[in-house]
A and B are shown apart, each in its own frame.
Chain A
Amino acid sequence: MQMQPDLLQEARRQAEICNACRYCEGYCSVFPALHAERAFSDGNLTQLANLCHNCRGCYYACQYTAPHEFDLNLPQALANVRQDSWEELAFPRAAGKAFQQNGVLIAIATVIGFALLFWAARALAPASGEGFYAVLSHNAMVAIFLPAFLFPLVSIAISLRRYWRHIGAGPFRFAHLGEALRQAANMKNLKGGHGDGCNFEDEDRFTHARRAVHQAVMYGFLLCFASTSVATVMHYLFDSPAPYGLVSLPKLLGISGGLLLVVGCVEMIRLKLRSDRALGATGAFGGEIAFVGLLGFTGFSGLALYALGQTAVMPGLLAIHLGAVLAFFLLTPFTKMAHGFYRLTALTAEAGRAAGSG
């Protein structure tokens, strides 16, 4: 693979300064990994970049930020390499390039998703059926969503395999994955090493805002996902198809998840708009906002569907919601959504490195 040499070189230059300094050692898992090297290969830098979650603690604490001639901005240097690595490792690569930095494309893809669904709704209209299935037969939904769900999984699996090779990680161990999952579950690193949180929306003030919002988005998403999974199980194993009552498991999970997701995404966008863009990846801001917007919108349209499921707007809403879900799944390997997978892989590799070095 061919990552951008100028981005790598800039990250290397800064990593060498940090390696002579080491003042930020306690902030996050980037620094212990960084201090373990003397020279930085492209793979090393890619791994460091994916260990960084852009909390910016090391920027505001750095005595060498501009106007100093060393011009340190490690969060940005790593964000650029990270962004570039996702593009290069994406499968198919062309899709990665096209989507990663392009919020507009994401929006267009969503619209195409809508159109497809409307088309499918009419073309495959079932003769009979109740509720949602009157608009779109269950089989048609499965025919559309199963590939849309499997494709991203295959794509991401290929990318992660490329990643693992690229960074030269050792053998994969489940114990290391367990350690990584544990760290991700409570976003240990977002606490900033001292437990005061990170610097994001108000310069050098440490807060838990970003961590809280990120948790809301992550758990909101997982709850929604669980809702769909439970519904699928109920449909196939218990022969109990949708729609479900308000106190049913799919609805409880879906409504709480949807609320968390919507609130989380709105707050995340607010935080991002207040943060200093010069500390994130160059040119990725629009794509990130569009992605969070799409995620939030997916949750919102799902909630709207719950609320208005018995009214005349339901067929339209359903198509919109399913269109958003479809777009979201298909785009997962190419949007910010992929970061969760890379991050987990990076933490797993780092757990392996730390265990290896004793």
Chain B
Amino acid sequence: MTSPDIAIIGGGNAALCAAITAAEAGARVLILETAPKPYRGGNSRHTRNFRCMHHGPLGPLVDSYSEDEYLADLMKVTGGKTDEGLARLAIRTSEDCLPWMQDHGVRFQPSLSGTLSLARTNAFFLGGGKGLVNAYYRTAESLGVQVEYEAAVTHLELDGERVTRIDYTRNGETHSIAPKAVVVASGGFQADTDWLARAWGPAAKNFLIRGTPHNRGVVLADLLGQGVEQVGDPTQCHAVAIDGRAPKFDGGIVTRLDCVPFSIVVNKDAQRFYDEGEDVWPKRYAIWGRLVAAQPDQVGYAIIDAKASDLYMPSVFPPIMADTLEDLADKMGLPAAALVQTVHTFNAACGDTSGFHPTELDGVTTTGLTPPKTNWARPITEPPFYGYSLRTGVTFTYLGLKVDETAQCAIGNRPIANLWAAGETMAGSILGQGYLAGFGMTIGTVFGRIAGKEAAAHANAT
């Protein structure tokens, strides 16, 4: 087949931003997306918002959100493990992105109910990430971008400092193309649980993957194997505690559980292992993925009683319910006597609960209990009792391609003349650990557009 000017590997947010930008610069662009059309868009199809700096009210965003405040928020969650230069670039450019997104079909809505705390910092997509992805595909196709679905890229041939060939399979056939420039936007490797297990140990086999089954890191492994510069801790991934009944892949946002602060969480031996009331839930959301991963069989159980059942966002699957703790333990496969004992001990350690306040750190704490519960500690006494199983749900991995401020990849400290990377696959260049809600889409949009522009400039010049 005739090779396009630019091949873009992946079909999510970063890929689409690159494709649209390059096509608008006049390049002939081909998107190679490994997923079938109904599942196009990778993890981007699961997102809901993007975090955006702004000097005054902008689109759906109220008030203002400065570069320094944004950076400070980022530094807090990454514990300083951040490339400040690239982070500032992403933050500063985010303000331009919002109108650009609107111009290319994305529609925003006011913050969703239950997320009002984000009204100032995060712009929510109407219809979520799949709505965004659909709009971008429409726009890209109207600009003449070609899209091949079920096209799995297997290898990039590197000859010195250039990519000379891309191999991909489609319908069981192998194809090779030789575009002038290449953008890699194929996400992380979290869907390859063998790779996760090599990095994390065998426990990783029990993890659930919150997003697409297609981000298996094939291109990432291929490039790193050829000496392309890498960044990010290979053993790290972003993980949260989700409903244990979620599907292995693609469970997405609905599988999150918000009941933990009002519960006690026990392991399969019915023993508590961490302070459930340490902080308001959005802030603690991410650490419970790791906590559960460290328990036997990588599973936890959140137990609440009737008085807490309406205090959190509804769950996608109804909780297991029983009139006695013994029955609940039976239904959940927990040792009944041990669960009753744990709840008794917990209840006995609860004190004055009159200050209970579900949306604030209320200081309603246990005394003399290890581990303690330092907020929202009310005894679990009122039937019916409810339970949820919790498992570790992986969002993304940190290992990636190292890029510079033009999104260009490098080998042996020299830039690769025609290879750029955007989105999750290079996010490790900015974030070393931790995560700030909405920053993934910011990175993908900012660096996708940069990569598209640079790749088009290169293709147009050769």
A residues sitting closer than 8 Å to B (CB atoms) are 16-17, 19-27, 32, 35, 38, 57-58, 60-70, 193-194, 196, 204-205
Asked if B130 and A61 sit within 8 Å, CB to CB, the answer is yes
Asked if B316 and A16 sit within 8 Å, CB to CB, the answer is yes
**Partner-binding segment picked from B4-12, B250-258, B291-299:** B250-258
Q: Which residues of A contact B72 (CB under 8 A)?
A: none
Q: Which residues of B contact A26 (CB under 8 A)?
A: 109-110, 126-127
Asked if A61 and B314 sit within 8 Å, CB to CB, the answer is no
Q: Which residues of B contact A196 (CB under 8 A)?
A: 107
Beyond the given A20-B315, A27-B126, A69-B247, could you list 11 further A-B residue pairs with CB under 8 A, ordered by the A residue number? A16-B314, A16-B318, A20-B254, A22-B113, A23-B131, A24-B127, A24-B128, A61-B126, A62-B130, A63-B130, A194-B107
B residues sitting closer than 8 Å to A (CB atoms) are 38-39, 45-46, 48, 107, 109-110, 112-114, 125-131, 134, 138, 247, 250, 252-254, 256, 310, 313-316, 318
Q: Which residues of A contact B113 (CB under 8 A)?
A: 22, 25, 32, 35
Asked if B45 and A63 sit within 8 Å, CB to CB, the answer is yes
Q: Which residue of the partner chain, among A23, A32, A69, contacts B128 with CB atoms under 8 Å?
A: A23
CA distance A159 to B313 in the complex (A): 35
Q: Interface majority SS on A: helix, strand, loop or mixed? A: loop
Q: Which residues of A contact B128 (CB under 8 A)?
A: 21, 23-24, 61, 63
B149 to A: closest C-beta gap in Å: 14
Asked if B254 and A17 sit within 8 Å, CB to CB, the answer is yes
Q: Which of A19, A21, A65 has the most CB of B within 10 A?
A: A21
Q: Which residues of A contact B46 (CB under 8 A)?
A: 63
> What residue in chain A is nearest B137 (Cβ atoms)?
A204
A181 to B: closest C-beta gap in Å: 25
With A22-B113, A193-B109 given, is the CB distance from A60 to B134 under 8 Å? yes
With A22-B113, A23-B253, A25-B112 given, is the CB distance from A65 to B38 under 8 Å? yes
Q: Which residue of the partner chain, among A17, A23, A65, contacts B48 with CB atoms under 8 Å?
A: A23
B110 to A: closest C-beta gap in Å: 7
> What residue in chain A is nearest B252 (Cβ atoms)?
A63
Q: Which residues of A contact B250 (CB under 8 A)?
A: 63, 68
> What residue in chain B is nearest A196 (Cβ atoms)?
B107
B170 to A: closest C-beta gap in Å: 19
A60 to B: closest C-beta gap in Å: 6
Q: Which residue of the partner chain, among A22, A25, A67, A205, contacts B38 with CB atoms under 8 Å?
A: A67
CA distance A337 to B316 in the complex (A): 36
B308 to A: closest C-beta gap in Å: 13
CA distance A65 to B252 in the complex (A): 13
Q: Which of B48, B125, B127, B247 has the most CB of A within 10 A?
A: B127
Asked if B134 and A61 sit within 8 Å, CB to CB, the answer is yes
Q: Which of B110, B254, B315 has the most CB of A within 10 A?
A: B254
Asked if A22 and B112 sit within 8 Å, CB to CB, the answer is yes
Asked if A61 and B112 sit within 8 Å, CB to CB, the answer is no
Asked if A21 and B127 sit within 8 Å, CB to CB, the answer is no
With A16-B316, A25-B113, A64-B252 given, is the CB distance from A194 to B310 under 8 Å? no
With A22-B112, A25-B113 given, is the CB distance from A38 to B314 under 8 Å? yes
Asked if B131 and A61 sit within 8 Å, CB to CB, the answer is yes
Report, nearest first, the 6 A-B pairs whose CB atoms are least far apart.
A61-B127, A23-B128, A26-B109, A61-B131, A194-B107, A20-B254
CA distance A200 to B126 in the complex (A): 17
CA distance A25 to B38 in the complex (A): 22
A39 to B: closest C-beta gap in Å: 9
CA distance A67 to B125 in the complex (A): 23
Asked if A19 and B314 sit within 8 Å, CB to CB, the answer is yes
Q: Offer 16 A-B interface pairs, CB within 8 angstroms, sorted by A.
A: A17-B316, A21-B254, A23-B125, A23-B127, A23-B128, A23-B253, A25-B112, A26-B109, A35-B113, A38-B310, A60-B130, A60-B131, A61-B127, A63-B46, A193-B107, A194-B109
Q: Which residues of A contact B316 (CB under 8 A)?
A: 16-17, 20-21
> What residue in chain A is nearest B212 (Cβ atoms)?
A63
Q: Which residues of A contact B112 (CB under 8 A)?
A: 22-23, 25
B187 to A: closest C-beta gap in Å: 16
Q: Which residue of the partner chain, among A22, A64, A204, contacts B134 with CB atoms under 8 Å?
A: A204
CA distance A65 to B256 in the complex (A): 19
A17 to B: closest C-beta gap in Å: 6
> What residue in chain A is nearest B48 (Cβ atoms)?
A23
Q: Which residues of B contact A70 (CB under 8 A)?
A: 254
Q: Which residues of B contact A25 (CB under 8 A)?
A: 109, 112-113
CA distance A158 to B125 in the complex (A): 42
Q: Which residues of B contact A58 (CB under 8 A)?
A: 127
B312 to A: closest C-beta gap in Å: 10
B176 to A: closest C-beta gap in Å: 30
Q: Which residues of B contact A65 (CB under 8 A)?
A: 38
CA distance A67 to B250 in the complex (A): 11
CA distance A309 to B287 in the complex (A): 81
Q: Which residues of B contact A204 (CB under 8 A)?
A: 134, 138
Q: Which of B39, B110, B128 has the most CB of A within 10 A?
A: B128
Q: Which of B253, B256, B318 has the most CB of A within 10 A?
A: B253
A55 to B: closest C-beta gap in Å: 12
Q: Which residues of A contact B318 (CB under 8 A)?
A: 16
Q: Which residues of B contact A27 (CB under 8 A)?
A: 126-127
